[in-house]
Amino acid sequence: MSTTTSTTTYRLALAVAAGTALFLVLGAGALGILGAGGRADRAYLAVLVVLVAGAALARLRPRGMATVLVATAATQVAVPVVVLVGDRELAQTVSVVDVVGLTAMYAGLFLLSAWLFRRAGEPRPAALGARPPA
């Protein structure tokens, strides 16, 4: 059985969060999630604002980042709902199955990163035979 250090888990969490954010930018900007790209997809900037502002407020600490990434995932879910409810014409032209699938994928990856950050922030048990700090 292998064990991972909190540093390794933290780095993995950071890589998942950064990679997901990068793919969100590429997906919304180049391909378009809500239609063929454009004005409606700019609403996904709210997800990035929550992520970047939250990371700054959390000072990239693991427990705070776990909370920030849960909020980021919630924002990811809220964006298409708000846009499609607000723009009935767009809602008629968009494949709801595709939007739900992409939203679930991005939110799931943000939640995976949150879980990894939470694990990285948990205290580790002392090694067998190790002396407690004096």
Q: Tokens for 45?
A: 């900037």
Residue 89 lies in a domain: yes
Residues in the chain: 134
Q: How many domains does the chain have?
A: 1
Instruction: Say if residues 47 and 76 touch (Cβ distance below 8 Å).
Output: yes
Residue 133 lies in a domain: no
Using CA atoms of 52, 58, 64, 67 in order, give the dihedral in degrees to the nearest 10.
-40
Mean pLDDT of 113-119: 97
Residue 131 lies in a domain: no
Residue 1 lies in a domain: no
Full domain range(s) for residue 108: 6-121
Distant-in-sequence, close-in-space partners of 10: CB < 8 Å, separation ≥ 6: 62, 116, 117, 120
Reported confidence tier of residue 1, pLDDT bands at 50, 70, 90: very low
Mean pLDDT of the chain: 90
pLDDT digit string (tens) for 10-49? 999 999 999 999 999 999 988 889 877 788 899 999 999 9
Residue 62 lies in a domain: yes
Residue 24 lies in a domain: yes
Q: Tokens for 99?
A: 């939007």
Among candidate residues 28, 37, 16, the one with its CA nearest the CA of residue 103: 28
Among candidate residues 27, 34, 10, 38, the one with its CA nearest the CA of residue 114: 10
Residue 114 lies in a domain: yes
CA distance 25 to 61: 24
Residue 83 lies in a domain: yes
Give the whole-number percent of the chain exceeding pLDDT 90.
69
